[in-house]
Chains A and B, each alone.
Chain A
Amino acid sequence: MPIIAKQCGIKFDPPSVVLIYENEHTNKLRKRVMPVRSFSQFSDCSRAAETKHHPRHGRYLDSVSLEQLVRLHTVLRDHLRGLSVEASLREQHRAQAHEEDLNKLGDEELNRCKAQMDVLFEVNRRHKDDPDFVYDLEVEFPENSVRETCSWDQSDEEF
């Protein structure tokens, strides 16, 4: 059965991926709800890949990009964490900006990025004329056993 995916979205309860597609033979629009099983706020959103290669659902999702599925799974997960759809998308957009490799930018673009970063730098900056300025400011961040592993260490390649 040839499938033309029209729209792909999600449903919160139970967490599911919803696909509106057209059956090319019958020209009928159909809706397929694919529950995302054992999904929690701690789930890794690259599990989206599992849905894409699911034995039964997989073929319906052929033309849906993995990026879109990851994005949708992230909204699902963020919902379980109490974030609104808007907040989740905003967070994702921000995270994406953080993925950008500034080494690859030209002078002008790089300077623009640096100027943006400087805004926060100036806000948080302690000047030497500030009354509470300490030149050699040492702060200990004790490493305790419950310290959370940064998610940056979990993904893909090992060091």
Chain B
Amino acid sequence: MAGDVKRIPDSEQEKYDSDEQVKIICLGDSAVGKSKLMERFLMDGYRPQQLSTYALTLYKYNTTINGKPVLVDFWDTAGQERFQSMHPSYYHKAHACVMVFDVQRKITYKNLSSWYKELREYRPEIPCLVVANKIDADMRVTQKSFNFAKKQGLPFYFVSAADGTNVVKVFKDAINMALSYKKNSSDFMDVVMRELENFDLEAKEDSGGDDEEEEEEEEEEEGKAA
């Protein structure tokens, strides 16, 4: 668990249940260029919101998909990845994940498997895109195949936040995948969560933050076993 990073209140995340809002999270090691990618995608239009209490940065992005306005919240880590683990609330209600590594540093590629494992503990079904960043540093890497994505059946992108190669494509694809996931979600956990949220669980209200967390993890376990 991520150090003393606070849990984000559930009430803050209820908005992601509405049809017009999606939550997309970024994952990956320190200094792989997650924020640089965000900034390249949003250009001048970005309004990052630093939530230092939660060690995360939020980028809001308004777009129109199929004639409908969509508000996208991109969640970026702000140092929390240093714990090699994110707080469960980071994953909560996420609709897609952009997972980044640095083609210049092998360890960031090797660590994908632990990021992916953690992602799947909380979000077993959401679309996940694998991004090989910094290809401008050595274009020869684009001649190579990186098996992680293929093995997990995930879409893979060669990108460069510096020269802009495929950055916009990644985020556009992520938004589309997030929306279609949300529309067709057969994710067992989503269904369970929806059911649970219909109950006014007194026990949940009484218990402190930590207990709530444990409860949530247990539910996840059940979800996986079913």
Contact = CB atoms under 8 A, between A and B. Distances in A.
Is the pairing of A and B real?
A: yes
Contacts of B144: 147-150
A108 interface: no
B69 interface: no
B164 A135 contact: yes
Contact of A152 (B36, B84, B110, B165): B110
A137 interface: yes
Interface string B73-113: 00000010110100000000000000000001111011111
| Interface size band for A | 35 or more
A159 B147 contact: yes
B184 interface: no
Interface string B1-45: 000000000000000000000000000011100001000000110
19 contacts: A100-B105, A100-B107, A101-B29, A103-B30, A113-B31, A120-B136, A120-B137, A121-B36, A122-B162, A124-B137, A128-B43, A148-B143, A150-B141, A150-B146, A150-B147, A152-B110, A153-B145, A153-B148, A159-B147
A110 B43 contact: no
A101 B83 CA distance: 12
A159 B151 contact: yes
Nearest to B137: A120
A10 B38 CA distance: 49
B169 A138 contact: yes
Q: Say what secondary structure dominates the interface of chain B.
A: helix
B30 A98 contact: no
Contacts of A114: 31
B219 interface: no
Interface residues of B, number: 43
Interface string A12-24: 0000000000000
A86 interface: no
Interface of B: 29-31, 36, 43-44, 79, 81-82, 84, 104-107, 109-113, 136-137, 141-148, 151-152, 158, 160-169, 172
A42 interface: no
Contacts of B148: 153, 159
Contact of B145 (A98, A122, A126, A143): A143
A117 interface: yes
Contacts of B81: 103
A101 B107 contact: yes
Given A98-B106, A121-B36, A159-B151, A126 B164 contact: yes
Contact of A150 (B43, B104, B105, B145): B145
A141 B149 CA distance: 15
A102 interface: yes
